[in-house]
Chain A
Amino acid sequence: MKFTLDWLKQHLDTDASIDVIAEKLTDVGLEIESVTDRAAALRDIRVAYIEEAGQHPDADRLKLCRVNTGDKIIQVVCGAPNARTGIKVALAQPGAIIPIDGSKLKPGKIRGVESQGMMCSTRELCLGEDHDGIIELPEDAEIGAQVATVLGADDPIIEIGLTPNRPDCTGVRGIARDLAAAGLGALKADPRQEAVAGSFDSPVGVTISADIAKNGAAPAFYGRYIRGVKNGESPAWLKARLEAIGLRPISTLVDITNLVTHDLARPLHVFDADKMSGDINVRYATNGEKLAALDNREYELSDSMVVIADQAKALGIGGIIGGEETGCVEDTVNVFVECALFDPISVAKTGRKLQINSDARYRFERGVDPQSIVWGMEVATRLITELCGGEVSHVVKAGEVPAPRNSFDLRIDRIRELGGVEVDADQAIAILKSLGFEVSGSAPVITAVAPTWRPDVIGEADLVEEVLRIVGYDKIPTVPLERETSLPVPALSPFQKRVGLTRRTLASRGMFETVTWSFTDSRWAKLFADLKPGLFLANPISSDLDVMRPNVLINLIAAVGRNQSRGFADLALFEAGPEFFGDQPGDQRLVAAGLRSGSTTPRSWTGSRRDIDLFDVKADAEALLEALGTAAANVQVNADGAPSWYHPGRSAALQLGPKNILGYFGELHPKVLKALGVKGRVVAFELFVENVPMPKKKGTGRPLLNASSFQSVERDFAFLLDADVQSEAIVKAARNVDRNLISDVTIFDLYAGKGIEDGKKSIAFSITLQPTKATLTEEEIDGVCKKVVAAVEKATGGSLRA
């Protein structure tokens, strides 16, 4: 919402400076977005007089002017078609700043002739769009005076950010009222609102269709016929006012409607009555009905949209925009003024569907003061007859003007209880009255009737806010929030604590945490899940972010591709975030997913660099499980359990029993990588954090450490095995020989190749024997070793290597 200081002062009697006004606007909740001091921008532009406009010696289209600046005569070369002898112009002399581009004017030569200044167009001064010629100033403008003053463009422009609850402040008068309530002056009376007597009956009648009257989409419509008007260019003050807030003056009749819209938050429309066919009917559009609107676009309407129609066709879309055909033009003589009420929701729906953002819609969808239908018509009538003349009819009316009396009790104590600041009843009453409330009663409970222009006030809490914002939020004392316990209780639940632990465990293993979109590209996602239609976005921001991600890995894999193309191939990335398996709220699970690609480290003289393989991510997953309290040794590695996006021979599921899948790890399937634009091998893991069991035991105690005081013994074995034997079979077989005595089985060597026949491999492992009652004898050790050999041979079909 934009206005100028002078405009504001038309409604507000105040001596306050622009700075004080700006600060107060923010304090009462009308946040200042900008204050533009136009006089400063135009400081160097002065009134000058063209003594003589002659021909440039070397250019047909250029003129050579002798210009009187008030203290001297200078020579200016000018290309404007309207530059001529005897007009007053806006002159910039060398050193002046030109508003449109902020450049400093230098003296120069144009086609060999010296030019000592520049005569400016409206556009060059940022006062409008006109660039067809230079500005012609009024004949009585004083030579040497500030152009800004002469044009009435010297008062500051104020722009406020308006919250959607304040329709009253979509007009300058509403803003003035708030400032007056806040003690910054007095709200002036508006004599334009008094009724104008009509002298004849309007030849145009008005009806509202029964369905609309019934559902309230357009509660009332007032119309007035004015005959014999003279349209044309608006007076300078009106044009200046509109141009200051960025509106293009069109013609006096149109400019008046724009003025009243921004001045009083009262949208109007003026039809050229001679282009109408019969009476006005406010009705729903028919499906497919078309309207060419004033914004030079044609709209196709539907039967939920309210139109203002005559007996032949729609003339305008109610509360949004008028039609082009019946719009006022230069030679319009007889007009029909519309001042109507429309339902905010209906206007909002129609506006959204047609994607029309008009000043009328902006106001109607926030809620126009219903009473303004009465006085708005009078203000419009006065302005039209004053500026365009004409003879005024009686007002024709249809519908009922709603007269809301939203009355609420305010317990004065509630101001302190909710607001935390003591405001006495007299002050609260005075504030409410100055905002237009009718107040009755006295402390402890008063009753306030909200003014018709404040549809946002719907209860006691709103009255508290009205009082507080005018008193000033700065008057509320700052009070520390009381502690409920002397030491705070833990903010995190045990599960929430795990999520943080997950992140920090993975990061401490050298992985980089990422945060990627919750949505992804369905062309990728379909490689990871059967996509439920309910998880597609109805309005995606782009086609490559069109579905809720069914798997956290998808965007991580894509991130590998992006980093590869930036030249970074050695990656260790993870994300702990949601993936979506169903289309209802809560159908999501928390997944910690990580991937690694490239090499373990940068190239190093130590020779420790090697290619990443799946055992790196297996280690990540196991470390995470351990951190979350599940011993990796208790987790089954199911080599056939990984889903299709993994390499079928190089992946596994991590399970606790047949049903509880904790996660997966392995090499990603080359087809998936190719589809997502990734080169080389990538290994990854996924862990479903919610599936990792929470400790069953209550309390903080840990199981007792059982450290044997007897020396442990290690023995090594090497077996020749079929290549497809899983090492886990060896570990299990050896361990099960005597689970009390054999505390550990470790694979420490794997070999296939020269010296080993094809289809075979050699695996070496060690067992650790930990006695608890007495040191082991050689015989005992030998006995266990023999059993281990036998057990492993039986389990694997392999043989001990000599």
Chain B
Amino acid sequence: MENIEALREEVLAEIEKAADLQALEDVRISALGKKGRITGLMKNLGQMDPDQRREFGQTLNTVKDQVAEAIETRKSGLEDAALNARLVGERIDVTLPSRMDETAGRIHPISQTMDEIISIFGEMGFALAEGPDVEDDFHNFTALNIPPEHPAREMQDTFYLPEQEDGSRLVLRTHTSPVQIRTMQSKTPPIRIIAPGRTYRSDSDMTHTPMFHQVEGLVIDKKTHMGHLKGCLLEFVKTYFELDEVPVRYRPSFFPFTEPSAEMDIGCSRKGGELKIGEGDDWLEILGCGMVHPRVLAACGLDPNEYQGFAFGMGIERIAMLKYGIPDLRTFFDTDLRWLKHYGFVPLDVPNMVRG
């Protein structure tokens, strides 16, 4: 029994001294291997009488377990040390710039603003409608109660295509209102649509570009009145500008295709040259609107005594400039990479009423 105790001490000391995994493995083989010292003692068990064998066997098993455990402990200690040493050697300069292979591009502010508008009016039950950029006189003017030579045609500087064989001239649509006409011609009320798109006027200076974008809204049913128009547009401006309250004002105005007509102003302040929306005692014109003119309804084959509703139209660049503080209209179309990076939107920022 003393021998066992001495052997235990001896092996444990050797384990403690093992400097690396190989030395430890050598100790394990010399103690627990086939020809190992402890294994040798185990072999002797067979020659003992039962009582002695039980007692000796128990002791030897305990020693064997202790040695095996000590080896495991030492082994994981040595492994940790080796790993730590490797990790220290692997240190690199984490302040180096990131890989730039996977940078996202940007969505143009016009597309983003259109998506915002669609998400807000979509929530109010409006569907997206579209129409062609090249329009005929009927859809762009006549059906909208703008007869030839009406001075209202001079309100808009129209781009014309060449005269056709029948003497008529196609135009680049001067507003998105022809989509109203096409919708009313093809659908039976109730109608709720918004129609964003490219529009064209022959005008180019600091605040005008020959192409710009508008969004048209139209509601036609048997009961919608100007109170609803006010309600609908108030909800829109509050949601769009992300403000709890926005002062609004409606001024009587004139558009050939609406009667009564109004222009909507929103409250703002211009103190110190900085425009702030939603506060202050100044007003900012934001859109034109009104009840659809009976003549327009009639031109689309709807009975003005049965159907009524409102329409509105606004400039998309204008409200994008107001919301995002973009100073110059012309830059929208200049394709300057710096501008696109600065004012553009990351593609996963998809406008959504629920997520805000």
Contacts and interface: CB of A to CB of B under 8 A. Distances in A.
A585 B136 contact: yes
Contacts of B346: 507
A556 B108 CA distance: 14
Interface string B99-112: 11111111110110
B57 interface: no
Contacts of B127: 489-493
B115 A508 contact: no
B253 A163 contact: yes
Given A504-B347, A539-B160, A563-B335, A473 B228 contact: no
A580 interface: yes
Interface of B: 96-97, 99-108, 110-111, 115, 118-119, 121-128, 130, 132-136, 139, 149, 151-152, 154-155, 159-164, 169-170, 172, 190, 192, 194, 198, 200, 202-204, 210-211, 219, 223-232, 234-235, 249-254, 259-263, 291, 293-295, 308, 332-338, 340-341, 344, 346-348, 350
Contacts of A555: 335
A97 to B, nearest CB: 21
Nearest to A27: B251
Contacts of A649: none
Nearest to A536: B162
Given A479-B228, A514-B108, A541-B210, 15 more contacts: A29-B251, A29-B254, A418-B225, A476-B226, A479-B230, A481-B124, A483-B125, A493-B127, A504-B350, A533-B162, A538-B159, A573-B340, A580-B133, A585-B170, A586-B134
A348 B149 contact: yes
A534 B294 contact: no
Interface residues of A, number: 107
A559 interface: yes
A163 to B, nearest CB: 3
Contacts of B128: 491-493, 496
Chain B interface, >50% SS class: mixed
Contact of B228 (A29, A349, A481): A481
B337 A563 contact: yes
Contacts of A652: none
B226 A419 contact: yes
A573 B159 CA distance: 28
A267 B111 CA distance: 49
A13 B122 CA distance: 51
- Centre residue among B223, B254, B308 by max chain A CB count within 10 A: B254
Nearest to A479: B227
Interface of A: 26-29, 31, 163-166, 344-345, 348-349, 352, 365-366, 416-421, 456, 459-462, 464-465, 468-469, 473-474, 476-485, 488-493, 496, 500, 503-519, 533-542, 545, 548, 555-556, 559, 562-563, 566, 568, 571-574, 577-578, 580, 583-588, 600-602, 604-606, 608
Contacts of A480: 228, 231-232, 235
A513 B108 contact: yes
Contacts of B338: 566, 568
B337 A503 contact: no
Contacts of B295: 459
Contact of B211 (A165, A344, A517): A517
B337 A366 contact: no
Contact of B110 (A515, A568, A600): A515
Nearest to A420: B227
23 contacts: A164-B254, A166-B254, A417-B223, A418-B291, A477-B227, A481-B224, A491-B122, A491-B127, A491-B128, A493-B128, A507-B107, A507-B344, A508-B104, A513-B108, A515-B108, A515-B110, A534-B164, A537-B160, A541-B159, A548-B172, A587-B134, A604-B99, A608-B99
Which 4 interchain pairs have the tightest Cβ spacing?
A: A420-B227, A29-B252, A491-B122, A163-B254
A401 to B, nearest CB: 23
